[in-house]
Structure 1
Amino acid sequence: MNTSVSDGGEKAQCSVLFVCMGNICRSPLAEGIFRKGLADAGLDGFVMVDSAGTGNWHAGDPPDIRSVETATENGIDISMQRARQVSDDDYDRFDLIFAMDRSNEATLKARAPSSQHDRIHLFLDHTLGMRTDVPDPYYGGVDGFDAVYQLLREGCQALLDRLGTELRQPKG
């Protein structure tokens, strides 16, 4: 794990980036869920977390209101997040880069140096062992955002359990 990354002035032991297409639906929701899980577990100072999109058409925009409302209903505030596009620096800055679907995974790998491909993972495959996409709820209704929230929550919990075990192990 990367020990040289800082998050809020503290040394992080690991860094995680969640990526979807526009960074307004799935990835900011995953970021919010994971941040809350880290905070609840007392691990927020050990992991740097961010989200981004493979596209830039929403750069600077807040998350989709349906993602914000779904997060709020579950005790998470993502309203202050702003969309950004994945940058070349992200491939070096983040230990784990999670694509929400296979299309974004392919885009990330096409843009990344081959030496960084081992950092890029399909989110549900890595966390729950399901080679499945997190569906894009953008063109659907609120029910789609609720379903995506549940998938992301399960995946984030599995990731948190795995990382929490690693982060709590004594260094030696």
Structure 2
Amino acid sequence: MNKVKILFVCLGNICRSPLAEGILRQRVEERGIAHLFEIDSCGTAAYHIGKSPDQRSVANALKNGVSYQHAARQLNEDDFDNFDFVIPMDDSNYIDAMSLVPQGAKAKVIKMRAFDDLAKGSDVPDPYYGGENGFQEVFEILDRSVNNFLDHLGKLSEN
């Protein structure tokens, strides 16, 4: 069985997308299905290539029971052939990602909050310039959306 390959995308790849990656990694471990997935994250901008995630995001995740590490990288055209799902965090990054999709690419590009029952299709806000509450809000949004995304994938595999 082929692994489901998922790529989360935000602007700089230090707050939202690596957190989504970390949450998904933990959730598939908890469900005993980690072997079925390849999970990564990246940014549409080159601001932080090679850098670790924002320490406020990491600290907030730990407070919520999720531990993760990542080195920031930039989205590229090959990602659309190497991943099944490319999941941007907001409209701006969705537009930037779509501008890179090569003809015939296999990846399905869909916004993260397409899987959030509380605000379907909305943006995941960027917590970078805010305080602790913003990081907690983003954690809750991503946790809810990631769990719903996993449930969605489970329903697809049943068909």
Q: TM-score range by the shorter chain?
A: over 0.9
Alignment of 1:127-142 (within 5 A): 127-128=115-116, 130-142=120-132
Aligned to 1:28: 18
Residues 37-88 of structure 1, C-alpha deviations (whole Å, 9 max, x = no match)? 000001100011000000111000000011100111112112x311110122
Instruction: Give the distance between the partners of 2:49 and 2:116, measured in 1 at CA.
Output: 30
Counterpart contact for 1:96–1:120, Cα < 8 Å: yes
1:114 Cα deviation from its structure 2 partner = 4.1
Structure 2 residue corresponding to 1:102, chosen from 88, 91, 100? 91
Aligned to 2:100: 111
Q: Unaligned regions of 5+ residues in structure 1, if any?
A: 4-11
Counterpart contact for 1:43–1:164, Cα < 8 Å: no
Aligned to 1:8: none
Counterpart contact for 2:84–2:106, Cα < 8 Å: no
Question: Structure 2: which amino acid aligns with 1:148?
Answer: V
Structure 1 residue corresponding to 2:46, chosen from 30, 34, 56? 56
Residues 5-50 of structure 1, C-alpha deviations (whole Å, 9 max, x = no match)? xxxxxxx2x1100000000000011000111000000110001100
The answer to whether the aligner puts 1:123 opposite 2:96 as a matched pair is no
TM-score by length of 1: 0.85
Question: Structure 2: which amino acid aligns with 1:134?
Answer: V
Counterpart contact for 2:20–2:143, Cα < 8 Å: yes
Instruction: Give the distance between the partners of 1:45 and 1:58, measured in 2 at CA.
Output: 29
Q: Unaligned regions of 5+ residues in structure 2, if any?
A: none
Number of residue pairs matched?
A: 157
Counterpart contact for 2:7–2:40, Cα < 8 Å: yes
SS across alignment from 1:45: helix
TM-score by length of 2: 0.92
1:117 Cα deviation from its structure 2 partner = 7.9
The answer to whether the aligner puts 1:93 opposite 2:61 as a matched pair is no
Aligned to 1:15: 5
Provide runs of 4+ in structure 1 moved above 2 Å: 114-118, 164-167
Counterpart contact for 2:15–2:128, Cα < 8 Å: yes
Instruction: Give the distance between the partners of 1:67 and 1:46, measured in 2 at CA.
Output: 26
Q: CA RMSD in A?
A: 1.8
